[in-house]
Amino acid sequence: MKTFSTAAAAAALMLTGTAALADDHGMHAGVKAMDQSVANGVVSAQQVMAPANGWLVVHRTDAAMKPGPVVGHAPLRKGETMDVAAILTEEVKPGDMLMLMVHGEGGGMQTGVFEYTLGAKEDGPIKPGGKLVMDVITAK
């Protein structure tokens, strides 16, 4: 009986730990992307976690890692989305660095219309804990 109780307690602890991780995981925002060819005019993120509906925005960047002009965007649903493709609106050459960033859907004049311009508040970047949610890739 003692072995059963210990095993049951261990199982309950494991289930509680898993639920806590799942809850915690659901609260994080993130972008996962890899260096890729842009020959087809599209940049993709393998996975995006968004705390609310918003946008995956493609900014130019460089070694200083400061977000530059927007060169593409795609709508995002709240939660986890796999294989998010953003159509490029400007030419991107092999070797260019791109910052794929999560932006919100707020402060603009219209819902569902991407209204951000560099430095604006409309549909701007989300910053949980004061940090941008992004990943940087190099175009091939």
Higher pLDDT, 108 or 13: 108
DSSP character for 64?
T
* Mean pLDDT rounded to a whole number for the chain: 85
Q: CA 43, CA 25: separation in Å to the nearest integer?
A: 25
Q: What is the mean pLDDT of residues 31-35?
A: 98
Whether the predicted pLDDT of 26 surpasses 80: no
Task: Examine residue 54 and state whether it is found in any structural domain, yes or no.
Answer: yes
For the chain, the domain total comes to: 1
- Return the SS3 of 26: helix
Asked if 116 and 57 touch (Cβ cutoff 8 Å), the reply is yes
Around Cβ 105, how many Cβ atoms within 10 Å? 22
Asked if 122 and 115 touch (Cβ cutoff 8 Å), the reply is yes
- pLDDT confidence bin for 74, thresholds 50/70/90: very high
CATH classification of the domain holding 65: 2.60.40
Q: What is the pTM of this model?
A: 0.79
Task: Examine residue 45 and state whether it is found in any structural domain, yes or no.
Answer: yes
Q: CA 38, CA 31: separation in Å to the nearest integer?
A: 18
Handedness of CA 35, 96, 39, 125 (dihedral sign): positive
Q: What is the mean pLDDT of residues 1-19?
A: 39
Higher pLDDT, 28 or 96: 96
Whether the predicted pLDDT of 62 surpasses 90: yes
Residue 123, domain extent: 29-138
